[in-house]
Structure 1
């Protein structure tokens, strides 16, 4: 079963969850702010991004800006970046999906259709 980490007030997350429901794709939803993805889940999704850690970050988020991540991320090692993401769900790009051998970050309908049918 897919696990979808989402934020209730995020319109993109709501669109993604509606897309899943409309297609009858079973999934469970976890509140990304209260229960961020684990380091292991982040690592599994990272491999699908070509190893670009920046793609896992919510670069338009308040926490990203307040923590100065634009300047810190280029010199941060991967382990530290993954630990930071796993401890602060506001930093994770959403929706964040893992399970059934699938991994997705963000919601682009064409990508979801290709990955999930």
Structure 2
């Protein structure tokens, strides 16, 4: 059985809406959490960071207003991870969204190519076979 998928969103984000629609369109069950209404705490962020490839660099949105304001006062590159986590708790808009994850992998932001990794293996295999069959039909036509 596949691990339960989590989708952490902010409803005002078009990327979050696209991710939710994609998951629904592909019949993938998920737990949804609006992190603007139910912000992440330190333990939530530690769990997510364990899945990230590049730590807080993957999670922090450098385009948000809070980052731009804080950047004037802080040197993000020289902060300890605990300080960065505390900042993300205090300023939730620092967190890139959507966050899509299970207990094995994390995707930050919406990418139609990368989100496919959350499809069950059998589904991905069937989609690939279908794609190859169509490619072969085009070659022989």
- The whole-number CA distance in structure 2 between the counterparts of 1:91 and 1:83 is 11
Rg larger in structure: 2
Q: Is the contact between residue 54 and residue 73 of structure 1 (CA under 8 Å) also seen in structure 2?
A: no
1:28-69 Cα offsets, whole Å, 9 max, x none, are 221222322232332233233334312111111111112227
The 5-angstrom pairing of residues 42-53 of structure 1 reads 42-53=45-56
> Which residue does the alignment assign to 2:115?
112
What's the TM-score once normalised by structure 1's chain length?
0.83
Higher relative contact order (CA 8 A, sep 6+): 1
- The whole-number CA distance in structure 2 between the counterparts of 1:63 and 1:101 is 30
Alpha-carbon distance, 1:70 to partner:
9.2
Runs (5+) with no aligned partner, structure 1 = none
> Which residue does the alignment assign to 2:139?
none
The alignment yields a C-alpha RMSD, in angstroms, of 2.1
Alpha-carbon distance, 1:73 to partner:
1.0
Q: Is the contact between residue 5 and residue 29 of structure 1 (CA under 8 Å) also seen in structure 2?
A: yes
> Which residue does the alignment assign to 2:98?
95
What's the TM-score once normalised by structure 2's chain length?
0.71
- The whole-number CA distance in structure 2 between the counterparts of 1:97 and 1:41 is 13
> Which residue does the alignment assign to 1:86?
89
> Which residue does the alignment assign to 1:20?
23
More strand by share: 1
- The whole-number CA distance in structure 1 between the counterparts of 2:15 and 2:23 is 13
Q: Could you say what secondary structure the match of 2:75 adopts? A: helix
- The whole-number CA distance in structure 2 between the counterparts of 1:98 and 1:69 is 32
